[in-house]
Amino acid sequence: MNTEQKKHHFTIPVFIPMEACPFQCIFCDQDRISGRTTIPEPVEVNSIIQRHLATIPEKGSDIEVGFFGGTFTGLSPEKQKVYLEAVLPFTESGRIAGIRLSTRPDFISSRILELLGRYPVRTIELGAQSMDDEVLRKSGRGHTSSQTREASALILAAGFSLGLQMMVGLPGDTEEKAVNTAKRIIESGASETRIYPVIVIKGTPLEKLFREGKYLPLELDEAIQITKDVVRVFDESNVKIIRIGLHPSEGLLNRKEYIAGPFHVSFRELVMTALWTDRFRKILEEKQGESIGIRVNPADLNPAIGYYGKNRKLLEKHFRSVKFLPDPEIKEKKFHADRH
Ligand code: SF4
């Protein structure tokens, strides 16, 4: 019997906004998205970590510190070192397993990777956003898709894990281009991804375009539909989706920073519900009236039932009674229907 327990993964986020980033992507207002305007001093990093550690169980946890928010490798090498060194006491004591950080594809080089390799950095996440050059250009990204591919190859060759983030609904983006971006991300060797629908945030160049009628954000339903197609592509690969939808910062929740676009606190659940609606389509075409028991893997129980029971309600219109049952024997993303 395998006695090794599955560890719970935690990432302690440390936001290093804008200062490090000389760009202005049209959708980005780092200060507002990360909810702060100053960048943390290294001593603050220590207290951020301590604060989080106090809430995480010691046993059975795999904990990383994540430097997010800006372009980590755009900081001076000295500053990068100071931040990375702030984590060392925790990795040396064994409480923290490693570091992850996010940066831009054009801020990766052999020299930069050599520096990161001297520290317990495990994963480097690149903001790919799109693998379509026209979309990248219209979004003011300042890099091309081939730079993303080259940086990905360098990261993998240096022995790091690779994460590639993508967005849906950027200017010039289409459903086809989004699906294509997902395929290119898989080809680039990423082991994980994050998918963000584009939201128009106050004070960004995108707000100006939106107000001038030059940018039309996706409707919530469209964003769910496109993201669902993208998720389906990733599901057929080994790429793990670690996030779908923007983190609901205070400014988005109280709508002070929100201008337009498909923001929803439960965006991931909505996408998962839609994926399961599609999986149930076939049985919805079958004869009505029977009672039905649907067995799914326990991990799939909530998404299969759907956001606010949407899928259960849909099936209840069709079958006399509907029961969902968790069954560890059923593979994830599959279901078995028992008719009575
Ligand atoms: S590179 Fe990143 S931090 Fe800089 S403007 Fe673009 S999205 Fe924002």
Give residue limits of the domains in the chain.
8-264, 273-339
Would you say the CB of residue 205 lies under 6 angstroms from ligand 1? Answer: no
Specify the pLDDT at position 22: 72
Q: What is the largest CA-CA distance in the chain?
A: 69
CB distance 288 to 318 below 8 Å: yes
Cβ count near 32 (within 10 Å): 22
Contacts of 202 (CB under 8 A, 6+ apart): 29, 32, 251, 256, 257, 258, 259
Specify the pLDDT at position 290: 83
Best of 29, 102, 104, 246 to mutate for ligand 1, by most ligand atoms within 8 A of CB? 104
CATH of domain 8-264: 3.20.20.70
Among the atoms of ligand 1, which is closest to the Cα of residue 27? 7
Cβ count near 95 (within 10 Å): 15
Exposure b/e, 284-302, CB count within 10 A at least 16 = b: eeeeeeeebbbbbbeebeb
CB distance 163 to 100 below 8 Å: yes
210-268: pLDDT as tens digits: 999 999 999 999 999 999 999 999 999 999 999 999 988 888 888 889 999 999 999 99
Specify the pLDDT at position 31: 57
Best of 15, 27, 30 to mutate for ligand 1, by most ligand atoms within 8 A of CB? 30
- Rounded to the nearest angstrom, the distance between the alpha carbon of 103 and the centre of ligand 1 is 9
Residue written as token pair 């898989």:
186
Distance of CA 312 to CAs 164, 171, 324, Å? 34, 36, 8
Specify the pLDDT at position 40: 80
Residues in the chain, pLDDT under 70:
1-5, 17-21, 30-38, 287
Would you say the CB of residue 28 lies under 6 angstroms from ligand 1? Answer: yes
Q: Report residue 127 as tokens.
A: 């903001």
Specify the pLDDT at position 37: 53
Cβ count near 148 (within 10 Å): 27
What is the Cα–Cα distance from 202 to 200, expressed in whole angstroms?
7
CB distance 182 to 234 below 8 Å: yes
Which helix (H) or strand (E) element contains residue 221? helix 220-235
Number of helical H runs and strand E runs in the chain: 13, 12
- Rounded to the nearest angstrom, the distance between the alpha carbon of 264 and the centre of ligand 1 is 22
